[in-house]
Amino acid sequence: MDKIQAAVRETVLAHAALGEEALAAAGGAATVPALIDALEGAGFLVEATRCFAHALPRREAVWWAAMCARHTAPADLAETGRATLDAVELWVRQQNEEGRRAAMSRAEAIGFQTPEAWAAVAAFWSGPSISPPDQPPVPPPAHLTGVAVAGAVALAAVRGDAQRGPARLALFLRSAREIAAGGVGRLPPEAEQ
């Protein structure tokens, strides 16, 4: 998992906000990959996804959020939701300011209650500024991208049928591992399976 090797364990732990039981399960895991493995092995899947959200580079984390959202999107997802995911994926591919702001506009238009919206917020919070374009730049705190990604992943896991959450989280963790190893982490749409 080359893309998370440089992540600082203490920083990831501080931002992932793990509870005492999860911290105990993580034990003496010295690296972020070992931390994630320990959490997953102990059944702390949500906590493992939060660690991935904060450990992956921003671009890859946003991509992962989009993959998770797209996986659980219902077949009848509104066009506005699909357009939001398309905007997020376009930002990941092009990494430009216009695309970043377009993703946030889509999130605002659909409200902030779906995985698609939070993936778009994650793109926007990836920087360089969260102020309006005609104002002095205000860099977002570095951890906000991870917060939004974690939210998108959590919402995607329980969309429609919360009982499917654990199986979805396990699938999402496999996707994150693939992304961390340099792959695409693409997930087939659940609605087509």
What gap in Å lies between CA 175 and CA 28, rounded to an integer? 25
Task: Say how far apart CA 18 and CA 143 lie, in whole Å.
Answer: 15
pLDDT in the model for residue 180: 97
Is residue 123 within 8 Å of 115, Cβ to Cβ?
A: no
Of all residues in the chain, the percent with pLDDT exceeding 70 is 99
Identify which of 2, 62, 63 has the alpha carbon closest to the alpha carbon of residue 32: 2
- pLDDT value at position 193? 60
pLDDT band at 94 (very low <50, low <70, confident <90, very high): very high
Among the listed residues 58, 157, 55, 75, the one whose alpha carbon sits nearest the alpha carbon of residue 114: 157
Stronger pLDDT, 25 or 1, i.e. the higher one: 25
Distance CA 78, CA 97 (A): 26
The whole-angstrom separation of Cα 108 and Cα 87 is 13
The rounded distance, in Å, linking the Cα atoms of 92 and 25 is 34
Mean pLDDT of the 164-180 span = 98
State how far the Cα of 131 lies from the Cα of 137, in Å rounded to an integer: 6
pLDDT 10s digits, 99-147: 999 999 999 999 999 999 999 999 999 999 999 999 999 999 999 999 9
